[in-house]
Amino acid sequence: MKKLLGAILSVVLMVGLLAGCVSSNSGTTSKANGSENADKSGKLKIAVVPKLIGIPYFNASEKGAVQAGKDLGVDVIYTGPTEADAAQQVKVIEDLISQKVDVIAVAPNDQAALTPVLKKAKDAGIKVMDWDTPADQSVVDLSVHQIDDEAYGRHITKSLVEQMGTEKGEIAILTGGLSAANLNSWIDGAKKELEENYPGLKLVSDKIATDEKQPVAYQKTLDLIKSYPDLKGIMAFSTIAPLGAAQAIQEKGLQDKIAIIGANLPKDSIPFLEDGALDLAILWEPDKLGYLTVALAKDLAEGKMPQDGQEVKNVGKIEVWEDGKTVIMGPPTDFTKENAGNYDF
Q: Which of 147, 160, 224, 340 binds other proteins (CB under 8 A)?
A: 224
C-alpha–C-alpha distance, residues 332 and 252, integer Å: 30
Q: Which of 94, 206, 230, 308 binds other proteins (CB under 8 A)?
A: 206
Of 207 and 298, CB closest to other proteins: 207
Sort 303 into a burial class: Cβ within 10 Å, 0-12 / 13-18 / 19+. exposed
Least distance to other proteins from the beta carbon of 295, Å?
Answer: 26
Give the burial string for 200-220 (b: 16+ CB within 10 Å, else e): ebeebeebbbbbbebebbbeb
Of 23 and 197, CB closest to other proteins: 23
Contact status: 178 vs other proteins (CB under 8 A)? yes
Of 4 and 302, CB closest to other proteins: 4
> Binding marks (x or -) toward other proteins, 51..90, rule CB under 8 A?
---xxx--x----------------------x--------
Contact status: 222 vs other proteins (CB under 8 A)? yes
Least distance to other proteins from the beta carbon of 309, Å?
Answer: 37
Least distance to other proteins from the beta carbon of 269, Å?
Answer: 8
Q: Taking a C-beta distance cutoff of 8 angstroms, is the pair 263, 156 a contact? A: yes
Contact status: 11 vs other proteins (CB under 8 A)? no
Letter for the amino acid at 43? Answer: K
Which of 197, 194, 199, 257 shows the shortest CA–CA distance to 224?
257
Tell whether the torsion through CA atoms of 302, 307, 312 and 315 is positive or negative: positive
Show Cβ contacts of residue 245 under 8 Å, excluding neighbours closer than 6 positions: 174, 217, 218, 221, 234, 236, 260, 262, 278
C-alpha–C-alpha distance, residues 149 and 5, integer Å: 56
Residues that bind other proteins (CB under 8 A): 4-5, 8, 15, 19, 22-23, 26, 54-56, 59, 82, 178, 204-209, 212-215, 218-220, 222-224, 226-227, 240, 243-244, 247, 251, 268, 270-271
